[in-house]
């Protein structure tokens, strides 16, 4: 492949996509990022070599226009709950297949697919089942001219993440936090490590056709993570671990609120441990970053952040 690639990145306006876009642009690649709402993501245009295209990924002609001239597709689109019935199927099962087929017709030579840890056509939630079906489908459709690699990360953390920022908002809101599924097990993975794996996989032939689980170095219960976060935020809060029955009840109520902050489907996803079967894939040579090394930096109290800034700038001077 040429050194500077043209990459099409559906889902590139999201949390992972923005981190990945920064890194890919710094490496000299050109990005074409489709979005439903160009106005909302204008900050991406500040990056040189980023083309933000308002388009409807449901439209076959628009899909081909988007992919024409691209060397690779990095497919990141994903949802945690449906706005309309059938969204999980449309977004996680049909879209990746349509993208892959259109990519092949447009002569694209590489396809990176974002799945999720626990994705499984027989999984406990619609989210995990649809992610599993989508992943199976793209690997079935792949061929040597368009090799696919899938990534199955645990919950991802880093600046602007959805996970720690969500709980930080709840902790700031009230003195008591009723916590659903407190014993759910998770091994959060740092967004910088996920980005690095994608970047390396782009051109490393050893990764062609592979599926990689990506986790951080340690597993926690959800309750441990939220207690740790309260400490980082410097907040004295009562965390109320809900029983299974109350967790389900909470999901039934919250899924009717605007934005659907917690749904029965999310509850069902949490029934399966989000923990990898082995260490971070050796092929990437990455030592995964612990939660404790990063979260205080972007969510800690001002004084902690200032300390981190000082330490970082000292470290820069020492090298
Ligand atoms: N974040 C995590 O902890 C985590 C963990 C495991 C796996 N993943 C997977 O990683 C991927 C990226 O996650 P993220 O956290 O970066 O997601 P995100 O911040 O929610 O971004 C989702 C992206 O998907 C696009 N999108 C959403 N619904 C769409 C639809 N119906 N049609 C077209 N585009 C749509 C959005 O684009 P526009 O709004 O601009 O159109 C946005 O760019 C997802 O596949 C997710 O399932 C994430």
pLDDT digits (tens, 9 = 90+) for 213-227: 999 999 999 999 999
pLDDT (0 to 100) of residue 43: 87
Rounded distance from Cα 229 to ligand 1 centre (Å): 24
296 lines ligand 1 (CB under 6 A): no
37 lines ligand 1 (CB under 6 A): yes
Which CATH number is 6-162+189-214 given?
3.40.50.720
DSSP designation for 260: -
Query: Model confidence at 2, in pLDDT bands (50, 70, 90)?
Result: low
Rounded distance from Cα 113 to ligand 1 centre (Å): 12
Which protein residue's CA is at the shortest distance from atom 26 of ligand 1? 77
Apex 209 CA angle, 107 and 97, nearest 5? 55
Query: Model confidence at 45, in pLDDT bands (50, 70, 90)?
Result: confident
Which protein residue's CA is at the shortest distance from atom 20 of ligand 1? 14
Rounded distance from Cα 170 to ligand 1 centre (Å): 22
153 lines ligand 1 (CB under 6 A): yes
17 lines ligand 1 (CB under 6 A): yes
Rounded distance from Cα 10 to ligand 1 centre (Å): 9
User: Which of these ranges, 110-114, 296-300, 313-317, has the smallest mean pLDDT?
Assistant: 313-317
96 lines ligand 1 (CB under 6 A): no
* Ligand 1 atom nearest residue 83's Cα: 31
User: Ligand 1 pocket: which of 78, 79, 95, 158 to mutate (most atoms <8 Å of CB)?
Assistant: 78
pLDDT (0 to 100) of residue 318: 46
Rounded distance from Cα 12 to ligand 1 centre (Å): 8
Rounded distance from Cα 18 to ligand 1 centre (Å): 11
Rounded distance from Cα 78 to ligand 1 centre (Å): 4
Q: How far is CA 252 from CA 78, 111, 166, 247, 311, in A?
A: 22, 37, 19, 9, 45
Residues forming beta bridges with residue 6, ordered by sequence position: 30
| Residue-range domain boundaries for the chain | 6-162+189-214
Report the pLDDT averaged over residues 9-18: 98
pLDDT (0 to 100) of residue 314: 63
- The reported pTM is 0.94
User: Which of these ranges, 54-68, 233-247, 276-290, 299-313, has the smallest mean pLDDT?
Assistant: 299-313
- CA–CA separation, 31 and 226 (whole Å): 36
pLDDT (0 to 100) of residue 11: 98
Strand blocks (E) in the chain: 6-8, 30-35, 50-54, 72-75, 110-114, 148-153, 156-157, 176-179, 185-186, 189-190, 211-214, 220-221, 238-241
Report the pLDDT averaged over residues 28-40: 96
């Amino acid at each position: 492949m040429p050194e500077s690639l043209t990459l099409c990145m559906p889902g590139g306006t999201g949390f992972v996509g923005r981190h990945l876009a920064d890194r890919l642009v710094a490496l000299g690649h050109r990005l074409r990022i489709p979005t439903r709402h160009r106005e909302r993501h204008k900050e991406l245009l500040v990056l040189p070599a980023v083309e933000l295209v308002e388009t409807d990924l449901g439209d076959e002609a628009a899909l081909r226009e988007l992919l024409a001239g691209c060397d690779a597709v990095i497919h990141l689109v994903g949802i945690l709950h449906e706005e309309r019935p059938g969204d999980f199927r449309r977004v996680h099962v049909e879209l990746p297949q349509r993208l892959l087929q259109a990519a092949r017709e447009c002569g694209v030579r590489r396809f990176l697919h974002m799945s999720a840890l626990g994705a499984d056509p027989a999984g406990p939630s619609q989210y995990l089942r649809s992610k599993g079906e989508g992943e199976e489908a793209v690997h079935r459709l792949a061929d040597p001219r368009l090799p696919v690699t899938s990534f199955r990360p645990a919950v991802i953390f880093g600046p602007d993440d959805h996970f720690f920022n969500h709980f930080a908002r709840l902790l700031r809101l009230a003195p008591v936090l009723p916590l659903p599924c407190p014993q759910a097990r998770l091994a959060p993975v740092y967004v910088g490590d996920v980005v690095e794996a994608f970047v390396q996989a782009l051109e490393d032939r050893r990764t062609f056709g592979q599926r990689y689980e990506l986790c951080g170095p340690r597993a926690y219960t959800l309750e441990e993570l939220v207690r740790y976060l309260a400490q980082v935020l410097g907040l004295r809060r009562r965390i109320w671990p809900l029983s299974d029955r109350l967790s389900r009840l909470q999901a039934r109520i919250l899924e009717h609120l605007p934005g659907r902050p917690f749904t029965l489907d999310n509850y069902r996803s949490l029934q399966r441990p989000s923990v990898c079967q082995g260490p971070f894939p050796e092929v990437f040579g990455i030592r995964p970053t612990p939660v404790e090394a990063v979260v205080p930096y972007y969510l800690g109290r001002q004084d902690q952040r200032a300390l981190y800034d000082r330490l970082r700038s000292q470290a820069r001077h020492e090298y």
